[in-house]
Amino acid sequence: DELNVFLRESKDKVGVEFLQACLDFLDAKLIVKGEENLSKDGLYTFVSNHPLGGQDGVCLGSIIGKHYDGKFRYLVNDLLLNLPGLKPVSNGINKTGRQSRDFPRMVEAGFKSDNHMLMFPAGLNSRKRKDGTIHDLPWKKTFISKSIEYQRDVVPIHFGGRNSERFYSIARFSDKYLPFNLAMLFLVDEMYRNVGKHFRISIGKPIPWQTFDKSKSATEWAKYVEDRVYEL
């Protein structure tokens, strides 16, 4: 009910203004390190871990959107396009339904544009490992191949945060036994559990696209960047 009230009250806000309203609503307090690595020269692919599934996307979109005057695009699950405020800054992708064949076309459109790209290469939010650490699922290689093709340097970002133990238990059960992502249905609840918290965001130095040469496969380079993110 609270969320629906907020969405009604924010119906005239779009893009960065909507993201800022979301931050205010969620009372998110950001500690940002490395803002000097956000260069105004060229086009970039920003890639981050995805620990929360809600606030992390909103926070990073707000930071990058403000810095680049709204000239960025998310690659997001098309369910989020039901939020009108997100539409102007989103490329919606239905990765599991009949529109999944449009995935390459939507990615191509994003990288061909004159907008910076913001991606969570794991595709899903982080899971809890057996050793107790919170870590993304293996990163997909698309951001590597497209950054090479369109000569975009890659900026690694680490977002500090975690969801509840209940969430990780549900995710573990869902990933092992169910043919669909049951955990995703609990992300709004997790978002409320994270209201009012401080989040540490570390922005690394851009990695030149020329780094991603033939010495490794695109999948191996994706793992290389993922490791760089967790070093931050």
pLDDT at res. 95: 53
Collapsing DSSP to helix, strand or coil, 181 comes out as: coil
For the CA atoms of 200, 154, 51, 174, the dihedral, rounded to the nearest 10 degrees, stands at 180
Quick one: how far is CA 8 from the chain centroid?
25
The residue count for the chain: 232
Does residue 46 surpass a pLDDT of 80? yes
At 94, list the tokens.
């239905």
Q: Does the model's pTM come out above 0.85?
A: yes
Does residue 112 surpass a pLDDT of 80? yes
Residue 97 to residues 47, 93, 102: CA-CA distances in angstroms?
25, 10, 10
At 88, list the tokens.
């102007």
Does residue 217 surpass a pLDDT of 90? yes
Mean pLDDT of 5-21: 88
The residue assigned the tokens 């975690």 is: 162
